[in-house]
Amino acid sequence: MAALNLNMLTENASRLGMRLQETLSEHTRDLAIARGTGSAYLDNPEEKVKNIAKQLDSNSDREKLEAMKRLIALISRGRNVSEFFAQVVKNVASHNLEIRKLVYIYLLRYAEQEPDLALLSINTFQKDLSDPNPLIRAMALRVLSGIKVPMIGSIVVLAIKKCAADISPYVRKAATLAIPKLYHLDSSHQPELIKIICTLLKDQSPLSIGSVAVAFDAVCPTRLDLLHQHYRRLCRTLIDVDEWGQVDLLNLLVRYARVMLPRPIPANGANGTTDYEVDSDLKLLLTSAEPLFQSQNPAVVLAVARVFYYLGPPTDLPKIVPPLLRLLHISPEIERVILTNLVLISSALSEVLAKSYTRLLVRASDPRQVKKDKVRLLRAVINAENYPSLLREFICYADDADDELVADSIQAIGYIARSVPESTQQCLTALMTFIQSKHDVIVTNAVLVLKSLVQIRMQQQQNMIALGGLPPQTFSPLEIISRLARRIDDLRHPKSRACVVWLVGQYAASAVPAENGIPVVGPEGIAPWAPDVLRKLAKSFMQETAVVKLQVVTLAAKLLVLCPSDRTIVLLNRYVFSLARYDLDYDVRDRARMLSSLLAGVNANIYGENDDGHEDVGGVVLRREQVKVVLFEGKASPAEDVPKDADDDHGRFGSLAAITGRWTGSDNYLPDWLEEGTESSLRDSEADAPPPPVYASQSFARSAGPTSRASPVILTPTNGPSPSGSFVRQEGAKAAYMDLDKFYEDAEETEESEEGESEEDGSGEEDEDSSESGSGEDAASAEGEGESDEEDEGEDEDEASGSSHIQGTTT
């Protein structure tokens, strides 16, 4: 028997195989299956294109499908195929779902370009709004709202209204997304649209609620008062909304909270620490948003971080750091965005970030932007404890192949030296070793940093001398200058050369060699290395860049003022000034002219005796001492190269403007807190009328606080363990049943069944969860058979109610 069956089976199989082969060979003639069916469509010869119209009019579904695929292929190659619009529209009522979907894809692309043709078929779309397939209904609405003819605005409003009451949440979502499009097309429909938004706000399905936030933002961003009734429910459904909706909804709720809720006020806690009094509604938002830190979607995590950064009390601020650090390893692009955002808030969070600074270490393989931001962050977390290891890191980065990182990290070393006084010696040692480096970029940056450090040290030294006594130092500032002066030949970067020349000139007089008992070799009153630098630079003056030339002229003038009697210096001066006078750069010429007139009182004829161009212009001639003051005093103290402070970031945390660093076309600044929040009773909706213990516990906490406002609704205080709505049924399965029964009774008896359900839905997942967990625990503890049966029943009920919500209500 079995053998017979098997025989029959094999026979049938082989017969089927043969038939298939037959049909295959028949059809592959024009389809070239061997190369993959898809690419065959992509190489469209012209005659095939002409054939499309005929195929679309044919009776065979296969022909039509092929024609549609060809059209889509043409679209993907960027060709305009709107000429086929009329033929395609005819197929919109096709019975084949496959064809229909492709037709709608075509229509979605071209309805906006060919509004007149689309208008002709508007009846078809309207009819499709009642199609049994939600996909088709949504597609029809998307095409309708895509037709950019203001005339049909009212038809679209009707369509949106119809779809907004659809049973499928998917269609309702399409309806909400159509609202902004219509509004942009014709803003005169605003009142009707706001009405639709209001109904949609009551939507129980978490699927569409996120897009309602989008529509709200587009149509009536300032009508935040419409949200009063829904605020608490929105907070509670947050966790069930899809990830994209969560982002939109969170951003809307942040704005709402800023405008409508009172700011957290510092209040002294019991044990001396500063506690913050947080409004119960704000607390609800924070506690509902916090679990979303664990989302897999980075955009959601950043949106939650925004909530805490802009709304939370400062004590909650550290919570945003670990989730953001977690995102760093996901992908290089996300790392780049997150790092820039961290930089933005680093001043507020430097202490928290300092604890996990090792997570921010720069890798040699990081992209450039990432390196830059990481160094900025590491710099922001420097403190007295971690500076030795950070200094080691920065020294390591100075060997990097990326010049920008080298510059940033050497500057960071300078920053350590300035901000942590104990570190100065180590930093100077490191910087002095950098000067020996073979690589230009390291030397240049080290010189620039050393210059500012020397300036600071000289100032400090003067203060110290005034106070009496100098601390022992490995590198006195003058020694640094003398070392730099000796290295002048090796410095190639113009900026660093100019820098050294300036240092030499500025501090040439400060040398006190006589103290050590060493005989002075050079001219009196100036350090021995100063004239030598001038000599070298005079020799190479013609090859220098303008920046260096300016500094050389200044150096010459300074030395002359310090030592007007020395013949060598006078001669060098004469040489330098003569060259500068005829320099190609007008700045250099101007500087030379200015300084020569200034020096008239010191050395009357700086351009040499045989110069006849010199004329007495009259006016006041300064004495040597006066010139000295002019040249040496009144230098600006070294500018701190601190990145611009981010005190007022205008809500830029988590925005595009923060990343690109430029204005991005919209001033979406977060509104500032109001003086006082709006009355919290505004947010009491009927949905909250049978108060869940959660709220009670919160309002209890509030009324206990020092600045409580009289709440018109008296909620019975109970000792709910957590302020989150999710723990409603924590006490166990029994309690859950009680609630559920009550809920069903309510649903039957009262008119407000919908609001009651909203309550249910808000914590739908958790309900299921806790009852589930209850059953799990009970099963584990092996209790009575009957009870667990009962629980299973309850579970089913629960699930049924949950599914009906997601389906939505047919009204």
Partner 1 sequence: MAIDGLIILDNAGRAIAQSGFHSFPPAYPLLHIDALNNALASAAHPDDVDPVLYISGINMDTPSACCHVKRGDLRYLCPVSGDVDPLYAFAFLQTFIEILHEYFGHVSAETLKQNFDVVYQLLEETLDSGGHPLTTSPNALRDIVIPPTLLNKVLSVAGVSGLATSSANSHPFASPIPWRKTGVRYNNNEIFFDVIETLDAVVNKNGTTAVSSVWGRVETNCKLSGTPDLLLTFSNASTLNDCSFHPCVRLQRWARDKVLSFVPPDGKFKLMEYRYVPISASSLNQVSVPFILRPAVQVDEHGGSIELTFSSRLTTRTMENVYVELYLGEGATGASCITSHSTSWSFNPRTLTLVWELRAVVPSASYTLRGSFTSTAGAPRPSRAFRVRFEIPQHNYSALKIEQLKLTGENYKPYKGMRGNSLGDIEWRW
Taking a C-beta distance cutoff of 8 angstroms, is the pair 757, 751 a contact?
A: no
Name residues contacting partner 1, limited to 380-409 (CB under 8 A). 392-393, 396-397, 399-401
Residues 716 and 739: their CA atoms lie apart, in Å, by 16
Residues 471 and 449: their CA atoms lie apart, in Å, by 22
What residues contact 209, with CB distance under 8 A and at least 6 apart? 201, 203, 234, 237, 241, 245, 249
The CB-of-375 to partner 1 minimum distance in angstroms stands at 14
Q: What pairs with residue 277 in β-bridges?
A: 265
Smallest CA-to-CA distance from 768 within 790, 740, 799, 743 is with 799
* Interface with partner 1 (CB under 8 A), residue from 6, 13, 16, 42: 42
Among the listed ranges 23-31, 468-476, 489-497, 734-742, the one in contact with partner 1 (CB under 8 A) is: 23-31
465 binds partner 1 (CB under 8 A): no
674 binds partner 1 (CB under 8 A): no
Closer by beta carbon to partner 1, 7 or else 433? 433
The CB-of-396 to partner 1 minimum distance in angstroms stands at 6
65 binds partner 1 (CB under 8 A): yes
Closer by beta carbon to partner 1, 72 or else 547? 72
The CB-of-247 to partner 1 minimum distance in angstroms stands at 6
Taking a C-beta distance cutoff of 8 angstroms, is the pair 446, 412 a contact?
A: no
The contacts found for 67-71 with CB under 8 angstroms, 24 or more apart, are: 68/99, 68/102, 68/103, 68/106, 69/41, 69/102, 70/41, 70/44, 71/102, 71/106
Residues 254 and 311: their CA atoms lie apart, in Å, by 7
Closer by beta carbon to partner 1, 38 or else 784? 38
Burial tier of 434 (Cβ tally within 10 Å: 0-12, 13-18, 19+): buried
Paired tokens of 528: 């021995």
Residues 674 and 262: their CA atoms lie apart, in Å, by 7
Q: What pairs with residue 268 in β-bridges?
A: 274
* Interface with partner 1 (CB under 8 A), residue from 181, 232, 236, 497: 181
Name residues contacting partner 1, limited to 115-134 (CB under 8 A). 133-134
Closer by beta carbon to partner 1, 296 or else 610? 296
Name residues contacting partner 1, limited to 766-805 (CB under 8 A). 766, 769-770, 772-773, 775-776, 799, 802-803
757 binds partner 1 (CB under 8 A): no
Name residues contacting partner 1, limited to 221-280 (CB under 8 A). 239, 242-244, 247-248
78 binds partner 1 (CB under 8 A): yes
Residue 430's Cα: distance from chain center in Å?
35
Packing angle, helices 477-486 and 494-507, rounded to 10: 130
Packing angle, helices 424-435 and 440-467, rounded to 10: 140
How many CB atoms sit inside 10 A of residue 611's CB? 13
Q: What are phi and psi of 268, to 5 degrees?
A: -75, 125
Paired tokens of 192: 């009707």
Closer by beta carbon to partner 1, 248 or else 583? 248
* Interface with partner 1 (CB under 8 A), residue from 49, 53, 119, 334: 334
Paired tokens of 739: 């609630």
739 binds partner 1 (CB under 8 A): no
14 binds partner 1 (CB under 8 A): no
Paired tokens of 197: 């938004």
Q: DSSP letter at 674?
A: P
* Interface with partner 1 (CB under 8 A), residue from 439, 492, 623, 635: 439
621 binds partner 1 (CB under 8 A): no
* Interface with partner 1 (CB under 8 A), residue from 5, 59, 123, 365: 365
Among the listed ranges 317-325, 427-435, 509-517, 551-559, the one in contact with partner 1 (CB under 8 A) is: 317-325
27 binds partner 1 (CB under 8 A): yes
The CB-of-354 to partner 1 minimum distance in angstroms stands at 14
Closer by beta carbon to partner 1, 277 or else 757? 757
* Interface with partner 1 (CB under 8 A), residue from 156, 207, 533, 592: 207
Closer by beta carbon to partner 1, 220 or else 338? 338
299 binds partner 1 (CB under 8 A): yes
Smallest CA-to-CA distance from 183 within 116, 222, 191, 141 is with 191
296 binds partner 1 (CB under 8 A): yes
Residues 429 and 451: their CA atoms lie apart, in Å, by 14
53 binds partner 1 (CB under 8 A): no
Q: What is the dihedral of CA 457, 458, 460, 461, to 10 degrees?
A: 110
Interaction pattern, residues 492-531, with partner 1; x per rule: CB under 8 A: ----------------------------------------
# residues near partner 1 by CB under 8 A? 126
112 binds partner 1 (CB under 8 A): yes
The CB-of-722 to partner 1 minimum distance in angstroms stands at 9
